[in-house]
Amino acid sequence: MCIIDISKVIPERNIIVFSPHYDDLAFFLAGYVLGLKENGIRDTKYFTNINVFSRSNYQARQDEGNKDTSLERIKYAVGNRVIEDLCCLDDLLGEYNYVYRLLGERESQVRGKVLADSDMEFSHGMYEDFDDCDWGILKRVSDIVEQLAKEEDTALVFPVAFKEHIDHFIVREAGLKIAKRGSNNSKFYFAEDKPYGGIADKIEIKSISDFVEENRLITRAFKHYPHEMIDLVLKSIMLVRWKMFTLKELLAVHRN
């Protein structure tokens, strides 16, 4: 597999990314954007990030908290994650250089999905695992994709869904469903979703290879800058949490 010229990876000017969760644009495309910057052509693209499952209760390494689906928990998690995501995208894309949308769907754990037997915290699932709620989400996301697919000079980017995180799978299938209808003005792309792609075993890699072959997708490989991608995400998380910790300190001092 050869690395192609970064300008040929996504020729369209407008790039709309369907991110299942917070951080996913960075995990999908940080390397692509950094490649654009390195070649001095970042300003030739205009990004829109659509965060699909934006009602989240998830915080890393908070096992008990991640079982809490109360409104208070969701307010706490979403507040943190929105700001973290914006800080990350400000660094990656440039402040005010992108559009950010929340669709308001409930992510897998808020919907009561069981975590996969894995070192990573995610809910596995495909069509045979869908309930009525999942089918409803697929329909709503597909409708939005169908509307956006009318746009000219536009790329729509979806996860390829390594390891079949059910939220990633729903978003992928919404994109695939509309792509197969044809008569779209926009182009459809399916990006390797980190970190899942990096820990996929041979069976999972073959599953994605079969998906690519069955749907006649063309592979376009680009340099991904993994260390820089991780630094971007972690920097935004640490910045927000440091500020929150400092605010708590100040409030404690004030009360005393």
**pLDDT value for 25:** 94
Of 187, 185, 188, the residue nearest 152 (C-alpha) = 185
**pLDDT value for 225:** 84
Residue range 11-255, CATH number: 3.40.50.10320
**pLDDT value for 238:** 63
**pLDDT value for 254:** 41
**pLDDT value for 146:** 97
Per-residue pLDDT of the chain (256 residues; tens, 9 = 90+): 688 899 999 999 999 999 999 999 999 999 999 999 999 999 999 999 999 999 999 988 788 888 899 999 999 999 999 999 999 999 999 999 999 999 999 999 999 998 877 767 789 999 999 999 999 999 999 999 999 999 999 999 999 999 899 999 999 999 999 999 888 999 999 999 888 887 888 998 999 999 999 999 999 998 888 888 888 888 777 655 555 545 444 444 444 3
**pLDDT value for 256:** 39
**pLDDT value for 74:** 96
**pLDDT value for 1:** 65
**DSSP line for the chain:** -PBPPGGGT---SEEEEEESSTTHHHHHHHHHHHHHHHTT-GGG-EEEEEES--B----TT-TTGGG--SHHHHHHHHHHHHHHHHHHHHHHH-TTSEEEEE--PBPTTTTTPPPPSSSS---B--GGG--HHHHHHHHHHHHHHHHHTT-SSEEEEEE--GGGBHHHHHHHHHHHHHHHH---SSEEEEE--TTGGGG--HHHHHHHHHHHHHTTPPP-B----HHHHHHHHHHHHHHHHHHHHHHHHHHHHHH-
